[in-house]
A and B are shown apart, each in its own frame.
Chain A
């Protein structure tokens, strides 16, 4: 520690903004050096404040947190967007002068890190000198290249000053409804790079003396579609930040600036230790390997994109190793992940490392006191150039959640095995659903206004099964355990789309002894709209959440839309109408209630760019279910009966997957014949044995196909991109499949698209210092 201090005496004379006289950048470097040297945040091998008076420490923590929660609750009411007001997609966080998160409100926890990354970027790139940081300033950021998840998460950041020294920051973020991207909605669709992702603001100074600057207001308001929402969202963020800043000034006046500053460092070390203790008591040391995949379906004609080279079907690859050590430290390693691509599903390293806490807090650390201590207590290896840490400044991020949600579901399984092993059955969860579909669109709405929409119904997707009970139906999202689908009447205020149905989606939860929670489906009819267009977004070809211990994945998504439906006449004539459930998409029924010339789209292409919709056209918003736990043939007959009678499972699946022998009584109620079912299940076990083969033999058989590169284009493209960034993964792959040393699959070789293998890093721009917060080391194969 002392050596670090000796290195900087000259800079003290420059009189930086910190109380020590250091510049913000030197201050942060010192914090990092002390952390590195000691293994404890900011060198805090002791915690003087907490140790001297644990009660005072606790009081201060609860007081500050109450301010954050309170500001969020109050500010939320200013917003107009249902995303913020109904779904609670906003979050306020307090940072210390180094930009590390001290405490956060409730809300979307991912932003603890993303706003911190923006602050660190300002610190590293010396905003202190230019554009300067003064009391009353406001900064706005949503730049994905420096850590934001996707551009629609817009942050307002306000510095906290005391006696003209910067002593902390407060940040507030809202998920806005439209960003002026190539297509309407918060997570636009169809672009393949940053240049279509919408307005991106890089830590810009947008206010002075607590007032937004007029040039900023004029420029930003005309660059988005849903301007009224934009205006009120910004006011929500500003009001919350100012409330918090003012209350922090009171706290400082009361406890003294020294105590306030020390607290801001100690509580982070406290958070780091808390995580370590949790790991020790809940998990089992060892290495846990898992993998997940999700689709990149850009080739289909429904994805109209201006560049031919982006018209590629591929698959995201997310192999991971959780390494848990006896001392409670751990490492999350994503070596072997596929490369960034020409789509909008890339993620910045911070979105990945920070976002992971949104689901860790649902089981490992269900604690309101999560701060950057959790980040400092976790080693991440995210190789530079992968989709979760792109080495290119052109990457698109609008729907980063597609990959993040797909990737993290395997971590539930990894940790679930730990909990199961230690006997914490109540913590086991088979994984998250893929939170989709995203209903988005825009045009002229029912009030005659130019408008964009973004339904947040996926916030109540089906949850994964537990090791002791079914997953909750229509209840949560990985990014927000406090899920809610909202009232239809509120969505209809925001969207010119009347509901013709909102129903539990039969069969959407993964089968299992405990089944995954079902999602739901809402059928919308376009109504009183003009020049209206909509998109689809979600998984369709690849299911990411596989289920656990014999449980099945949830059902994959599909797309349903209908144009030229003839519904106007059918309504007038009192004829049958498509309403409620799309019971079994393999035996569609709605089509019988449409006009003869109706054009119906029903396929697995669940990513689709803007298609025009007219009044009386239909759009299905299908909200996915969660994965199952345990072998379905162990499910109790009574539970299965309830599933059938409650329309959670289709009868043909009850028979085929669960082995149920069931019949309906005179009133239509299902009854299961227990004895016949038991016999059927025994027979199923024998059938399983009959078609099984030793794993060793199966691997041999498949290895021949691998050696011959006998795989689909998507699979080849995925592996080729993983090999490019990881020698280790390539070697492991060769060893697993017993392939010859020279075997390789490259992007650009026969049949494998390879456009854009050369990367253009952000810091190739003049005057840019990238903030690196993970181990991003890459050892590429020499022979690639």
Chain B
């Protein structure tokens, strides 16, 4: 399989809690995936082992391949686990005196974040997690700045010295500072940084100091402080790990700079100042991969859908860009990190299925069988029916080829459980019950997908739908049926698509800053012009930060492509819309009008024409600057078209298959054996070790020359 002429260019690393996956891409677009047990105490070791596992498929070893690599992207859960398990650094926190409790109080919403709808109503189930910084390491300093940035109470420096001494006496490993409205006026915070450094120097200590204004200068103190604390609490230890990994790779001959997948959808260097934004990156890989494929193949609007065992994640790419959520939550904490906007539904292939004893209706989830699959896998020890059990009973999944045959599933066990738990209580047949479960799940997914598109002011007809994730292609027909997508595409490497996506990500920094530009309806031209100046100044400030980050990695300012953006609202609203600026710089009244026009159009599309409120005037609430430098990316596979008829060896038999209330016979195919150009008409099931593509009766799929399946209803 190896081809010495084909150099390996790209490496993706997905370091999960249990397994570390590596993903290598050759110059011809071929790729391999390797796996190894994760090793939290030595991540580099796991990466090496996983690389060896992958590269042996090409008969190559790391000593040869690492020097060939031009880029490597890491995404991992170590930082997230550190937060979830509260095993971060010993951080001291300096806040306004009188507000020492605010961090440990948390926001009320944090006691039910991540809950299902029913549990959100069910008060007795709510709980707060431990604060990242306990009360005894939180110290107050008297000062106040108001919402307009004016000083109400000057900072009392003596208290700041005392605070620093007090924290040092408690052997803190980092100090975070967050005063109210510091995003509007950061002088007090910055002065406290100086004071802390003075005190540190006096004691001969070296402890990092983080001021929220230097990290996340955006409004909402819980978001801003949590994020700044995370930078100290969780990101710094990761920086050490990544540095170690980078060094190990160098020792193996690697000449590339390790980059890390970040929540905003770009990759950043492990040296980046704001490393906390790499806290969550896993699920967004697929979105980045979809964007990359879209660019390569000319799709502007893409609905990305990813089904795993526990959740259904959807995201939209519109006009070639994904949306960013500014105040998301991660690990049950409100944060102010930009995150690729995704809608996650707690329903997946492993979701449990139960009959609600009170209403006699079918309920899916919110909990799931996870890696234990369902009743059909005896060793899993599960006795509640899962969605996978339904798939097995209906002939969608091959009981002998689950995870490539690594585990054997029992159709009979699944049947018996569905009969007892679902079919008999409802007075219907096992097939009808199992089929019903799938229909309910599909419909719920379809509803979410459609809602997300509608909420953006679009119609599915404008979109191509990408479906990936291990369980995605089993459901693709079900959740896309009737929505009217332009095309429905399943990459043949659906199970590894997220890792692929990470490897395609841009080397990109993004910085945000809150601004308060208010232009009332009666505003003069002078006000509009001044507003342009304010926005332009903010862009300038952010551009400097972006360029500085690239400079650390050896790029010159002229290598950086800058993309400005802004968030805007009708004056007085609390929410805003993020807009990619139609202009690269603003100065004149005409520029202002252009900005307003872009916002107004977007608003009408997202909400409703009737919801537009230009008579209130316009406000710009945030400035955004993204900077990108060119990097090496995987290529989209390219194969020769071999015509519609699949090769004989791709056919692997037949299986009964239940659809629309009756049993049919599905033809079975081996996915890897199919050739570009092959057309498969349903009912058919196309199997590969990690994924299964279901083509029901009345549907057809064609594998194109890029190894993408196009699924359509005939």
Contacts and interface: CB of A to CB of B under 8 A. Distances in A.
Contacts of A502: 98-99, 101-102, 105
Contacts of B107: 484-487
A236 B572 CA distance: 14
Nearest to B218: A489
A512 B354 CA distance: 38
Most A Cβ at <10 Å: residue of B111, B128, B135, B140: B111
Interface string A32-72: 00000000000000000000001101110111001101100
Interface in A431-468: 446, 459-460, 463, 466
A727 interface: no
A503 B607 contact: no
A539 interface: no
Contact of A488 (B102, B156, B570): B102
Contacts of B180: 488-489, 492, 499
Contacts of B144: 498-500
B123 A498 contact: no
Interface string B105-137: 101110110000111111110111000000100
A427 interface: yes
Interface residues of A, number: 95
A281 B357 CA distance: 10
B359 A270 contact: yes
Nearest to B345: A66
A485 B573 CA distance: 19
Contacts, number: 247
Given A55-B436, A231-B616, A472 B128 contact: yes
A482 B574 contact: no
Interface string A188-215: 0000000000000000000000110000
Contact of B573 (A232, A463, A488): A232
A528 interface: yes
A363 B97 CA distance: 39
Contacts of A646: 135
Contact of B124 (A67, A73, A363, A485): A363
Nearest to A212: B610
A504 B146 contact: no
A446 B443 CA distance: 50
Contacts of B362: 54-55, 58
A489 B220 contact: yes
A229 B572 CA distance: 8
B391 to A, nearest CB: 16
B448 interface: yes
A235 interface: yes
B102 A232 contact: no
Contacts of A228: 571-572, 616
The contact size tier of chain B is: 35 or more
Contact of A74 (B101, B135, B455, B616): B455
A481 B121 contact: yes
Contacts of B572: 80, 228-229, 232
B359 A66 contact: no
A211 B610 contact: yes
A59 B121 contact: no
A368 B573 CA distance: 29
Given A74-B455, A362-B121, A503-B98, A235 B610 contact: yes
Contact of A59 (B359, B439, B570): B439
A37 B596 CA distance: 61
A367 to B, nearest CB: 6
Given A55-B432, A85-B574, A466-B124, A239 B220 contact: no
B261 to A, nearest CB: 28
B135 A499 contact: no
Contact of A239 (B100, B122, B156, B608): B608
A481 B122 contact: yes
Contacts of B188: none
B146 A74 contact: no
A476 B108 contact: yes
B616 A82 contact: no
A666 interface: no
A363 B123 contact: yes
A369 B121 contact: no
A55 B123 contact: no
Contact of B142 (A59, A67, A82, A577): A577
A86 B574 CA distance: 8
Interface in B579-614: 606-608, 610-611, 613
Contacts of B574: 79-82, 85-86, 490
A77 B607 contact: yes
Contacts of A157: none
A369 B359 contact: yes
B222 interface: yes
Can you list the 8 inter-chain pairs with the closest CB atoms, starting with the nearest? A579-B98, A55-B436, A580-B98, A501-B98, A484-B108, A366-B122, A460-B108, A77-B575
7 contacts: A70-B454, A79-B575, A85-B575, A106-B120, A485-B105, A490-B220, A528-B148
Interface of A: 54-55, 57-59, 61-63, 66-67, 69-70, 73-82, 85-86, 106, 210-211, 228-229, 231-232, 235-236, 238-239, 242-243, 270, 273-274, 277-278, 281, 361-363, 366-369, 426-427, 429, 446, 459-460, 463, 466, 472-476, 481-490, 492-493, 498-504, 520, 523, 525, 527-528, 571, 574, 577, 579-580, 645-647
